[in-house]
Amino acid sequence: MSAQQSIVIGGGAFAGLALALALRQGLGDGIPVIVADPALAVRPSRDPRATAIVAACRRLFDAIGVWDQVAAEAQPILDMVVTDSKLHDATRPAFLTFAGNVEPGEPFAHMIENRYLIDALTRRAEAEGIELRATAVSTFDSRGHGIDVTLADGSVIAASLLVAADGARSKLRERAGIATHGWDYDQSGIVVTVGHERDHHGRAEEHFLPAGPFAILPLTGARSSLVWTEKRAEAGRVVALGAEEFHRELEQRFGLHLGEIKVLDQPRAFPLGYFVARSFIAERLALVGDAAHVIHPIAGQGLNMGLKDVAALAEVIVDAARLGIDLGQADVLGSYQRWRRFDTMAMGFATNSLNLLFSNESALLRSVRDIGLGLVDRAPPLKSLFIRHAAGLAGEVPRLLKGEAL
């Protein structure tokens, strides 16, 4: 039997806070859980972005006692339409449509603004007695039976495990000497919220244009969140436009099917790329979320992949603790890596292939992909399989993603 020490999570966004709550649920209060992130000092959250939460991850938030706090702010995605066209085409015929339920009454995804979910996670963590430290992890030093974690405020925590949940530019990953492999896409995603005259009725739209996908994702009320992919230089030009010029560019892509549109916040462009850490683990260290992998947003799976990491890591840690096994030892962390690495590589390959297939001007490729979309649209079993994959319910699913408590 090994005496368990604290668990320190570096990073207080979705993955870090969700992991802390899952661990507290499964481990009880006998093992302290500390979340360290300077962003925890910013209350309430000011994150202006919105995120698609797939069904499996909604079940996770339900299992850790958070979803009921944000359900009123979440917009179910009731159906989805996929088109493939050029920018100036007069019409955009729908090649593929999905009804949005994975189970009766359970949509395959919800859209929610990040700030509501971050604030709910933070409140729940405080209520559960999780220690939130508004400072960064500065250094760490493994010492055989534990890891000494030094915070930027000078305090040192003796831990069994350190979790890097500090994003794509993870300092903890770098300090552990874990390399990444991947590439930039020379694309940026323009993110902006718009209001419109007509009700979207919970419909999401993905228009594949030559520069990349233009996604219209429904929010509560007569609003939608847009993820608009362009070549990086063009994206920089677009977000620098004045209000009237930007509106013209936007309307050309959005169309008028929802009536007049109005930009509700400041457009921002985020560079897109793909990378995967060469290892998701090091000595007494585990990577989760964007610290472990970043994929193209073409399938809307980035955040959800990180929450799958959370569910898998929490399960292997809780199972180890119940057996009296040192939860930071190599074989425990190895189980986590084996569980998540193949799925991550497969999703990265899929999103990269989709981006290459759709983000181009080739008339031949367009014909081939449109035939393929049409065939899928007329094959209900295949559509159902796609929906289950998109909802995170295919393969070996951790208990939290089934909605089961640890």
For the chain, the C-alpha Rg in angstroms (whole number) is: 21
- Specify the range with the lowest mean pLDDT, choosing from 102-106, 153-157, 342-346, 381-385: 381-385
348 and 276 Cβ atoms separated by less than 8 Å: yes
From the list 367, 1, 326, 19, the residue with the least C-alpha distance to 166 is 19
Q: Does residue 1 have a pLDDT over 50?
A: no
Tens-place pLDDT, residues 150-185: 999 999 999 999 999 999 999 999 999 999 999 999
Q: What is the pLDDT of residue 323?
A: 95
How high is the mean pLDDT of the chain? 89
Before 32, cis peptide (omega within 30)? no
* Furthest C-alpha separation in the chain: 69
CB-CB contact of 355 with 298 (8 Å)? yes
Q: How many residues does the chain have?
A: 406
393 vs 55: which has the higher pLDDT: 55
| pLDDT of residue 90 exceeding 60 | no
CA distance 253 to 263: 14
Distances (CA, A) of 23 to 38, 263, 277, 299: 21, 40, 24, 29
Residue 276: which region, alpha, beta or left (left: phi > 0; alpha: psi -120 to 50)?
beta
Cα–Cα distance, 12 to 16 (Å, whole number): 5
For residue 373, name the pLDDT band (cuts at 50, 70, 90). low
Decide the pairing of beta strands 285-287 and 156-164: parallel
Average pLDDT on 142-146 reads 89
Q: Mean pLDDT over residues 378-401, rounded? A: 76
Report which of 118, 115, 144, 146 is spatially closest to residue 35, judged by C-alpha positions. 118
Residue 365 confidence class, pLDDT cut points 50, 70, 90: low
The helix-helix angle for 55-63 and 14-27 (nearest 10°) equals: 50
Helix (H) or strand (E) holding 347: helix 330-358
Report pTM: 0.91
Q: Where are the alpha helices (DSSP H) in 11-134?
A: 14-27, 55-63, 67-70, 114-127
Q: How confident is the model at residue 96 (pLDDT cuts 50, 70, 90)?
A: confident
274-298 pLDDT, tens digit each? 999 999 999 999 999 999 999 887 6
**With bands split at pLDDT 50, 70 and 90, how would you rate the model's confidence at 55?**
very high
Strongest mean pLDDT among 87-96, 192-201, 302-311, 363-372: 192-201
Residues 219, 56: contact at Cβ < 8 Å? no
Task: Specify whether the CB–CB gap between 48 and 23 falls below 8 A.
Answer: no
Helix (H, G, I), strand (E, B) or coil at 88: coil
> In this structure, what token pair is assigned to residue 367?
């014909």
